[in-house]
Amino acid sequence: MTAESDLRTLLSDLRPELHPGRYVFATVPDGVVPAEAAPVVTVSEAEGLTLVLPEAQAVAAGLDHSSPAGWITLRVHSSLDAVGLTAAVSLALTDAGISCNVVAGFHHDHLFVPHGRAVEAVAVLETLASESDAG
């Protein structure tokens, strides 16, 4: 599948998917992922390794962690060179008063939003997609 870079097409084909469960951000200063943890995202920073993982795993590993988030994957295969997707998605969620942390993967963008507003965030993104219909 070829990665898409046209903003209108990207937006109309968002297909947001909400993963079940609650996810949190945690950090391990020594960079060692605990055996109890299977992170869905890792980011290496000077201060340590950031993990995004299921809340239950963070608790089991005794990790300090952030507020629970819902994990939404934008199923459109976005190009890493695409311009405007993150801005458009962020603006739509901002207008709804929903905070969002975006992580870009090779194939898809992943959004972490407050868990209690995740279903609402999906609805906002579906509306954005329908209003951006490229056809």
DSSP structure string for 19-46 = PSS-EEEEEETT-PPPTT---SEEEEET
Q: Looking at 40, 67, 94, which one is the last position of a domain?
A: 67
Distances (CA, A) of 77 to 20, 65, 80: 21, 30, 9
Do 78 and 12 belong to one domain? yes
The pTM (predicted TM-score) of the whole model is: 0.94
Do 27 and 14 belong to one domain? no
Do 88 and 100 belong to one domain? yes
How do 69-74 and 16-18 pair as beta strands?
Answer: antiparallel
Tokens for 84, please give them.
């405007």
Total number of domains constituting the chain = 2
Do 28 and 89 belong to one domain? no
Range of the domain at 41: 23-67
Do 47 and 108 belong to one domain? no
Do 76 and 114 belong to one domain? yes
Do 95 and 133 belong to one domain? yes
Do 62 and 76 belong to one domain? no
DSSP 76-100: S-B-TT-SSHHHHHHHHHHHTT---
Do 16 and 34 belong to one domain? no
**pLDDT value at residue 135:** 54
Do 88 and 105 belong to one domain? yes
Q: Looking at 32, 67, 102, which one is the last position of a domain?
A: 67
Q: At what angle do helices 118-131 and 85-95 cross, to 10 degrees?
A: 120
Q: Looking at 34, 67, 100, which one is the last position of a domain?
A: 67
What's the gap between Cα 79 and its chain centre? 16
Do 15 and 29 belong to one domain? no
**pLDDT value at residue 133:** 81
Which stretches of the chain drop beneath a pLDDT of 50? Answer: none
